[in-house]
Amino acid sequence: MNKLILNFKSKDSKKIKNPKNFLGGKGANLSEMGRIGLPVPPGFTISTKVCELFYKDKKKLNSQIINTIKKELKVIEKEVGKKFGDLKNPLLLSVRSGARVSMPGMMDTILNLGLNDNTVIALANKTSNKRFAKDSYRRFIQMYGNVVMGVEGYLFEELIENYKLTKGVLLDTDLDENDWEGLINDFKKVVKDKAKKDFPQNVYDQLLGAISAVFLSWESNRAKVYRKLNQIPSEWGTAVNVQSMVFGNMGDDCATGVVFTRNPSDGVNEVYGEYLINAQGEDVVAGTRTPQYITKKARKDAKAKEASMEESMPKVFKQLDKILKVLEKHYKDMQDVEFTVESKKLWMLQTRSGKRTSKSAVRIAVDMVKEKLISKKEAVMRIDPASLDTLLHPTLDEKSSVNIIASGLPASPGAASGKVVFSSEEAERLNDMMQDTILVRVETSPEDIHGMHAAKGILTARGGMTSHAAVVARGMGRPCVSGSSEIDINYEAKLFKTSFTEVKEGDIITIDGSTGRIILGEVPTVKPEISGDFSKLMSWADSFRKLKVRTNSETPLDTKTARDFGAEGIGLCRTEHMFFDEERILSVREMILSKTVEDRNKALAKLLPHQRKDFVEIFKIMNGLPVTVRLLDPPLHEFLPKTEKEINDVATVVGLPLKEIESRINELHEQNPMLGHRGCRLGISFPEIYEMQCRAIFEALSELKIKKIKSAFPEIMIPLVSTEAEIRIMKDLVVRVAKEVQKDKKVKLDFLVGTMIELPRAAIKANDIAKHAEFFSFGTNDLTQTTFGLSRDDSGKFLNDYIENKIFSIDPFISIDDGVGDLVEIAVEKGRKQNKKIKLGICGEHGGDPKSIHFCANVGLDYVSCSPYRVPVARLAAAQAELSKRN
Amino acid sequence: MNKLILNFKSKDSKKIKNPKNFLGGKGANLSEMGRIGLPVPPGFTISTKVCELFYKDKKKLNSQIINTIKKELKVIEKEVGKKFGDLKNPLLLSVRSGARVSMPGMMDTILNLGLNDNTVIALANKTSNKRFAKDSYRRFIQMYGNVVMGVEGYLFEELIENYKLTKGVLLDTDLDENDWEGLINDFKKVVKDKAKKDFPQNVYDQLLGAISAVFLSWESNRAKVYRKLNQIPSEWGTAVNVQSMVFGNMGDDCATGVVFTRNPSDGVNEVYGEYLINAQGEDVVAGTRTPQYITKKARKDAKAKEASMEESMPKVFKQLDKILKVLEKHYKDMQDVEFTVESKKLWMLQTRSGKRTSKSAVRIAVDMVKEKLISKKEAVMRIDPASLDTLLHPTLDEKSSVNIIASGLPASPGAASGKVVFSSEEAERLNDMMQDTILVRVETSPEDIHGMHAAKGILTARGGMTSHAAVVARGMGRPCVSGSSEIDINYEAKLFKTSFTEVKEGDIITIDGSTGRIILGEVPTVKPEISGDFSKLMSWADSFRKLKVRTNSETPLDTKTARDFGAEGIGLCRTEHMFFDEERILSVREMILSKTVEDRNKALAKLLPHQRKDFVEIFKIMNGLPVTVRLLDPPLHEFLPKTEKEINDVATVVGLPLKEIESRINELHEQNPMLGHRGCRLGISFPEIYEMQCRAIFEALSELKIKKIKSAFPEIMIPLVSTEAEIRIMKDLVVRVAKEVQKDKKVKLDFLVGTMIELPRAAIKANDIAKHAEFFSFGTNDLTQTTFGLSRDDSGKFLNDYIENKIFSIDPFISIDDGVGDLVEIAVEKGRKQNKKIKLGICGEHGGDPKSIHFCANVGLDYVSCSPYRVPVARLAAAQAELSKRN
């Protein structure tokens, strides 16, 4: 087992397999910098394992751990030649949290720990700077009082403000050591009053209190919320870094700063950052003083006057610049570094992989390959597939004139136009009818997720950049403008008002999720310009991946988009989506309402030319590539008229009395439509429907063949199979129709017949089903529903309870669940054993989720299929999955 | 491989593993009788394998088979010294179908095959009986013309009737050889006219035609319907028996008869049967002549005049009596025998296990053990568990006066009273509210199955003893009166009329399924008297079985009934059923409508004493035995008010505005409630509900313990678990409440906590769940639904299509499906591996289905649980399962 607590310079850290998991991100980097000889203030990391023990031991640090901490303190004391709590030369410490990933919402840092009524005097004497010592002490009481002891921060601030008022000064810098001395006493009183105990004078109590506070903050509400939004498992826990203090605020030969080794917004290879002379780190962030530039060039570019670090501290700057190069070489990645200069001595406080925009990430990765810093594989592994979304979404055509009616936060990139709807149900209803919508809500909740899926864009009146709407929309790649306080929504009246206009349900608006603009009417969008760097990176990815990437699409537009994004076929063409067109829906309804096969055939004959035409178009676009066509899947009643008007319309056209139509609609009602008369069950009951669909496919193929136009290769997919007999009977039907068409048109057609695996029984009995199926496509949406016995439509009501109770770490409809995965594995194994040549793919929404794509690669599928905009994401994730396998 | 065609005397038949499967029931018995030296007319059996080949070869007999048939004919010719088609001494044949089980709806028999215009003369010469020969020929044309050539039978009958009218005679016996000669010509003309071809004169054509006709009749509509009703797989196919004819109608030294070795209605050990002198077999059945008794005693008991066989043919009778004893000894079972006496020579035509009433079956089995004919094990194996139903159902208390308003067919035994309902939905609704109903329908369909389950009895206006209603009701053990043409149902007006009265929905009636009576009002019923033989048999069964048998019950009455029937505990006590009581439902609704935990707790506090009282009663009755209590399972909206009146009532009591109640009802609506917010998901969201239920259980236990009353051992069951976290969290809750109650009441309580396994994920991840669960109870109803993605409520619409298309051989909700079984096996294996001591049971409706009980025994469950009346069925099936394992 690893040591639970590790000195930064310990060689043991090299042996740790996943240092970030064990030491946290900050700890791992400090330890690494220490080991490679960079000037890091001495210290040690208390590992995440201790966090686990802390919670096991009922939120206490056990005596063994306390002893080890004390032992490690001795090591620091020796290194820096100071003693913790010493009355002559006291060691001061910083205590910082450090989880695997940086996590807002958790306790961050406590500085100046080790000061008390006595050591503060020692510090004053040692530094000959009373004001600095007192100031440090009051800062410490303030931080510790707030973060560890729970005293609200404004109480301290108020005391300072009142004091300044009384004294008639404006700035903190106007206060001297005596002023601070008085405030220190006031601060201690506030602590005693609010926390019901004295501010600790024992420095060890201070230290253990701070360490416990870091651990406790892991389970703070804010941290929990953040974890939930960012899908961070609570088991990870946090590490704690204890480090000797260095001071950037001991005079004008001191400074503190933050620097990136490259430009994080566009990726240009240049030092980028800010610093402040005579300041502590928090001052840079706090915004009370304007930080200065690091480089001369940056200062000049910004036309700033205050000297850059390069100019004011040229020696130290050079040392820093060198260290930055060392760090980039060492980490082979752009670094985000914190440093402090104490009396001209440079100390590295932290380094970590720098956050960057997607654009910058791609450029840096590609540049680093050019610079031979990293390999192509590493470049591919570097990019978070989910981040590509922002690069891929359409933007507004800036040549168009726009009528901006309000604005909000640019919560999720991309632009979209559509009819305003105020409920998820309406969004889904219109989506089913192939109409674009913008879902407008005061705020969204998990119950809206499917409406958000159905809508082209989301607009909310409340909520920030990390509101539910924002987070979910980004995940889905839907444009979103959130928190637009300029709009006033009235659900009852189905409208929203801005200061000067009124928008009703059904009106068309456009939102620009990249800028936050809300625009009346439709605005043309332009496809994202895909940079050369991006294309290069994707081509590298393609060279590494084995999983093919297809798309789920049934319209020519989507199909074209997907091909442009690199789709290698269609993995799911949902034929029922072709039924909702206004022209067709009446024939569809006529078909459903038919009571005899003859009547049904008449209605089907009207639909045949439409379907054939759709297929001709799609087969043309996907020439040379496979297209999986799924025969009719949803329960028939989904197609039925719902409003009174619709029912009347159908009655008129079909020529049946209203009453009969209503009674037929009732007849078709189902208690649990998800488990009802749908999928191939329709094909068994009404073979004529599937016959018409197959005929449309084969006639489309024949048409292209006869015209000598290159066509796609069709794979006909039978949905909702659970038994061998179903696929056998349905395959017979497909083959029979194919024969009829071939004979009729005198052409020879090639195709495959296969099935969705979307029911547990199909997975369990995959060996039987593979006797007939030439391919399996895992429909993991439905498979998740049935494996869990959990309706996606209804789970919103309690999904929150489930995430709060840690029953689900992630919504199983987003990333494939372990148990569902087991069933997929069983089916893969049994299917391949029965039929070596069987093609295996996935077409559930998991097909566009990077985590799930890794699973697909590991389990040995041949392809994944996802929505058009997720195709590049899938290509990259597939490459990463393959590369991870090799490691 | 077995020979495809087998002579009756062939020793090869001994080697066949399942002779009935291969030779059919009739063939296997003929072959067996032949082998043990009984006088069987020479012949051979064409096996069921040939039937399979026949269908594979597009309904043709292939040449190899035809050659073998001809070879086997030679063997017969040699044995009987006649030749097929011979002009001097022609061999005549009978051709009979013979499936594994006797199957009405299929072609049965063709007699006198081999007669044509020439051989008929030879037969006349040989027997010196022209009339006999001509009569035989016309019978042959009639049978063959009808069965093989498809000419409707009445056409022949009409010709005979017209002829007799013209001739002025009444009886067939009044017609002489010349009359038959003329009719033969007329018959041949009718055949030519209707079948569009000549009646075949080639005897081989006749034979092959007859054999093909038997095979074709296997797929006749009537046969298909019968198979569907009796759950006979269509793959079985039928065999064909070809046998030389013997004649019981060649004079007064000839006879034919049917005899049982014991009395089939009460089981008494006496020869029982009928015979006719100078007749063919069909005459005994046809009812044109009254058959005579076999024994003198029977004749005397019936005060009949016509001599019994014992009296008229004493020698042959003695021979027969001896053979019957040989057969019983050989088969060790009561036999149903057909024989013919041709010129004083006795021929055995058929023997088979005799059909008998349930009562008789039990007596015969017990008697045969006494007679040392069979062992106790064999006796136990002998009784069809499903048949016990008829012995177990309550009958009307005949001391009560009854007001009979109509009558129908006694379609399924037992008597029941309840409110009249006209739809399955209403039956289910009232059942949920613990109200008894009689479901009254014109006829029932698969869609009504769940209504039939919910109702206490079924009454139909149409349909016979094998109508859907009759068959299903018998299967379920529900009393049913079918085909009562005396009632006239008006669904719209919700009433039915008899000739003199009118019964409205909600009125109470009583039906007696054993007699067919329909009675106004409630009539007290008496429990079935369980005979000593029955008890003896069941005690033997208990000594052999390993599976424990529990019951599904939540009322004291059902619980008592089940204990009387031998239940060894409760396997499923559905606490939600306790919520529907009129007194409680309002508190339940109050609880559901609460928006805060506090309000919910108030409502729960009202429910607590009720639940506690229920548990006290049940725990008392089941003293010393385990009782599995399932915490609240169904989605909350099931409890909500549905009618306007109910909604108003709730609004008044709860003191909330109507609108708010309506909106809350809407909120609780679910798209797919089966996959919704139910089971332990409620326990996670509203832990206070489960807390109340646990408190009721533990307080009930404490009460009994304090009063020193012996109690049951509770097993608390968490429903709908799919993840480890769910069972862990819920178990913590149960244990916590137990601790609280124990501390509070100062008692120590023993209990187990476990879970339903009713979702595929739970089965797949059973190892994780078994870390916390102390028992698994397989909820195979839900497991079947989710494994198939098939809602039981909605499957009625296409179940028929599925059975017709042979996708399901049996409704998977009745007998456990193979794929569902695989999941159960996975869970058993993983569960036991994780936790050796885990208790395993089943509480789905499959727990009362004999086939599924065999599965449960084989997979190694500890117990099955079923409805009270199925307990003896389960005990017997469990014993049979164990005994089959040992074989």
Burial class (CB in 10 A: 0-12, 13-18, 19+), B401: exposed
User: Cβ distance A295 to A269 under 8 Å?
Assistant: no
Angstrom distance (rounded) from CA B874 to CA B866: 8
Residues 6+ apart with CB under 8 A from A648: A658
Share of chain B above pLDDT 90, in %: 61
> Per-residue pLDDT tens for B609-662?
999 999 999 999 999 999 999 999 988 888 888 778 888 888 887 778 888 888
Which pLDDT score is estimated for A225? 77
Q: CA of A681, closest CA in chain B: separation in Å?
A: 7
Task: Map residue A77 onto helix, strand or coil.
Answer: helix
Give this prediction's pTM.
0.77
State the Cα torsion A365-A367-A369-A370 to the nearest 10°. 170
From A843, A846, A854, A866, the catalytic residue = A843
Task: Map residue A564 onto helix, strand or coil.
Answer: helix
> Per-residue pLDDT tens for A702-715?
999 999 999 999 99
Task: Map residue B88 onto helix, strand or coil.
Answer: coil
Residue B371: CA atoms inside 13 Å, Cβ hemisphere, count?
18
Q: What is the mean pLDDT of residues B305-312?
A: 92
- Longest Cα–Cα distance of chain B, Å, equals 103
Angstrom distance (rounded) from CA B647 to CA B654: 10
**B874 against B513, higher pLDDT:** B874
- Report the run of H or E that residue B130 belongs to, with start and end: helix B130-147
> Per-residue pLDDT tens for B240-299?
999 999 988 888 899 999 899 998 878 899 998 889 998 877 776 665 677 889 999 989
β-pairing, B43-46 with B5-7? antiparallel
Query: B520 and chain A: CB distance < 8 Å anywhere?
Result: no
From A468, A577, A772, A854, the catalytic residue = A468
User: Cβ distance B274 to B248 under 8 Å?
Assistant: no
β-pairing, A517-520 with A403-407? antiparallel
- Longest Cα–Cα distance of chain A, Å, equals 103
| Nearest beta carbon to residue A673 from set B672, B785, B807 | B672
pLDDT at position A393 over 90? no
* CB-CB neighbors (< 8 A) of A445 in chain B: none
pLDDT at position B797 over 90? no
> Per-residue pLDDT tens for A413-427?
789 999 999 998 899
- Residue positions of B annotated with a catalytic role: 468, 843
Q: What is the mean pLDDT of residues A251-280?
A: 89
Using H for helix, E for strand and C for coil, what is the string for B207-228?
HHHHHHHHHHHCCCHHHHHHHH
* CB-CB neighbors (< 8 A) of A725 in chain B: 805-807
How is residue B346 annotated by DSSP?
E
User: Cβ distance A418 to A455 under 8 Å?
Assistant: yes
Query: B506 and chain A: CB distance < 8 Å anywhere?
Result: no
- Going from the C-alpha of B763 to that of each of A129, A761, B789, B791, the distances in angstroms are 70, 12, 15, 19
User: Cβ distance A537 to A379 under 8 Å?
Assistant: yes
Which pLDDT score is estimated for B464? 66
Lowest pLDDT segment from A152-156, A436-440, A624-628, A807-811: A807-811
- Report the run of H or E that residue A711 belongs to, with start and end: none
| Nearest beta carbon to residue B819 from set A765, A795, A807 | A765
Angstrom distance (rounded) from CA A806 to CA B729: 10
Closest CA to A674 of B798, B823, B673, B811: B673
Q: What is the mean pLDDT of residues B401-409?
A: 89
Q: What is the mean pLDDT of residues A167-172?
A: 84
> Per-residue pLDDT tens for A445-504?
766 777 888 899 999 987 766 567 876 676 566 899 988 888 989 998 899 999 889 999
Residue B747: CA atoms inside 13 Å, Cβ hemisphere, count?
17
| Nearest beta carbon to residue A791 from set B676, B764, B787 | B676
pLDDT at position A796 over 80? no
Q: CA of A299, closest CA in chain B: separation in Å?
A: 56
Query: B687 and chain A: CB distance < 8 Å anywhere?
Result: no
How is residue B631 annotated by DSSP?
P
Q: Which pair of tokens denotes residue A25?
A: 């991100």
- Helix and strand counts by DSSP (H, E) for chain A: 35, 33
Angstrom distance (rounded) from CA B733 to CA B731: 5
Q: CA of A852, closest CA in chain B: separation in Å?
A: 18
Closest CA to B260 of B245, B276, B273, B241: B273
Which pLDDT score is estimated for A1? 46
- Given the structure tokens 């379920």, which residue do they identify? B476
> Per-residue pLDDT tens for B695-711?
999 999 999 999 999 99
Lowest pLDDT segment from A793-797, B223-227, B782-786, B833-837: A793-797
| Model ipTM over 0.90 | no
Amino acid letter for position B673: P
Q: What is the mean pLDDT of residues A818-831?
A: 98
Instruction: Kindly report the number of other CB atoms within 10 A of residue A500's CB atom.
Output: 7
Burial class (CB in 10 A: 0-12, 13-18, 19+), A601: middle
- Going from the C-alpha of B567 to that of each of A88, B220, B542, the distances in angstroms are 84, 44, 11
Angstrom distance (rounded) from CA A30 to CA A24: 10
pLDDT at position A302 over 90? no
- Report the run of H or E that residue A532 belongs to, with start and end: helix A532-544
* CB-CB neighbors (< 8 A) of B794 in chain A: 670-673, 675-677
Query: B688 and chain A: CB distance < 8 Å anywhere?
Result: no
Angstrom distance (rounded) from CA B438 to CA A115: 85
Angstrom distance (rounded) from CA A571 to CA A862: 11
Burial class (CB in 10 A: 0-12, 13-18, 19+), B227: buried
- Going from the C-alpha of B111 to that of each of A635, B95, B237, the distances in angstroms are 53, 7, 22
Q: A59: phi > 0 → left, psi -120 to 50 → alpha, else beta; which?
A: left
Q: A259: phi > 0 → left, psi -120 to 50 → alpha, else beta; which?
A: beta
pLDDT at position B446 over 80? no
> Per-residue pLDDT tens for B204-222?
999 999 999 999 999 988 8
Closest CA to A428 of A173, A634, A722, A271: A634
Q: Which pair of tokens denotes residue A558?
A: 């989507």
Which pLDDT score is estimated for A181? 94
CB contact under 8 A, A676 and B786: no
Q: What is the mean pLDDT of residues B374-380?
A: 95
Share of chain B above pLDDT 70, in %: 97
Average pLDDT, chain A: 90
Touching A: B residues 733-792, CB under 8 Å? 758-761, 764-765, 782, 785-791
Q: Which pair of tokens denotes residue A858?
A: 């590991």
pLDDT at position B1 over 50? no
Q: What is the mean pLDDT of residues A824-849?
A: 95
Angstrom distance (rounded) from CA B786 to CA B721: 13
Helix axes A314-331, A19-35, angle to 10 degrees: 140
- Given the structure tokens 């810093």, which residue do they identify? A373
Cα angle A455-A456-A462, degrees, rounded to a multiple of 5: 70
Query: What are the beta bridge partners of residue A796?
Result: none
Query: What are the beta bridge partners of residue B6?
Result: B45
Task: Map residue B118 onto helix, strand or coil.
Answer: coil
Strand runs labelled E in B364-473: 395-396, 403-407, 409-412, 415-421, 437-441, 457-460
Q: What phi and psi, each to the nearest 5 degrees, are found at residue A676?
A: -110, -145
User: Cβ distance A255 to A275 under 8 Å?
Assistant: yes
Angstrom distance (rounded) from CA A223 to CA A227: 6
* CB-CB neighbors (< 8 A) of B759 in chain A: 787-789
Instruction: Kindly report the number of other CB atoms within 10 A of residue B61's CB atom.
Output: 18
> Per-residue pLDDT tens for B15-38?
888 888 999 988 998 998 998 899
Which pLDDT score is estimated for A617? 95
Residues counted in chain B? 887
* CB-CB neighbors (< 8 A) of B820 in chain A: 761
